[in-house]
Structure 1
């Protein structure tokens, strides 16, 4: 029997709502602008700071380093921190790495399950063109 707030398998959604898609496009636009101005190769924290500035200027609501609690059988067993929780429904994780690896994707998928949302973003700023660093993670991508 599931408990409230328990980390369960991913949402049973395959296509995110249109409002979430619009939010993703706005965040992607902010990331492209940050990358255009800063380029590749900086520490992740620099991109995080710049994304906070850019999203604020664009009126995109977000919480930075948001703490998400993890529950097991109704008992809090820990927490994780996400780089950004945008508008209370979009996980945005930033990286500045040579290559996105499977554990990076799993991390975002786990955070999505915690907040029960069908879509997340993994943004890697260490790329020549930002569009190459934008990774949409959708609920149907959840591992069994």
Structure 2
């Protein structure tokens, strides 16, 4: 399955979660529900996947964690904030760089219409759905 095929499934399940729960909950609630829905859809899901930083050939475990990694290919960073900003994008880009992933989804569930809260990050470039 390609990254784009996985991303399509992720977006569909995120829409289902948002439709059921609406905005205003904690990020952890959306993370658990989305991970559950993705697993139920038959995808391999890792929650809170540790991301070490390698510096001068030394692997440092300093607390970086991907919210959800799907099929070992797509990074999902979940937010529940008033608005996404550059720091959120930088966080997603960092996880993608550390893990050498090509596609990331930055999803803000604290919006009235979820499609306005989803940003695709492809090889370091931000694009909208």
- The structure-2 alpha-carbon separation of the partners of 1:140 and 1:110, relative to structure 1 and needing over 3 Å to count, comes to closer
Question: What is the alpha-carbon distance in structure 1 between the residues aligned to residue 124 and residue 99 of structure 2?
Answer: 16
Contact 2:18 2:114 in 1 (8 A): yes
Q: How does 1:36-115 map to 2 (within 5 A)?
A: 36-79=19-62, 80-115=64-99
> TM-score, with normalisation over the residues of structure 2?
0.92
Whose radius of gyration is greater, 1 or 2?
A: 1
In the alignment, structure 1 segments of 5+ residues that lack a partner are 1-17
Partner of residue 109, structure 2: 125
- Structure number with higher relative contact order (C-alpha < 8 Å, ≥ 6 residues apart): 1
The question of whether the paired residues in 1 share the 8 Å contact of 2:93 and 2:124 is answered with no
TM-score where L is the length of structure 1: 0.82
Unpaired runs of 5+ in structure 2?
Answer: none
Q: Deviations for 1:31-74, whole angstroms, at most 9, x for unmatched residues? A: 00000000011111111111122111111211000001111111
Name the Cα RMSD after superposition: 1.4
User: Contact 1:89/1:115 (CA < 8 Å) preserved in 2?
Assistant: no
Q: Which runs of 4+ in 1 moved over 6 A?
A: none
Aligned residues: 125
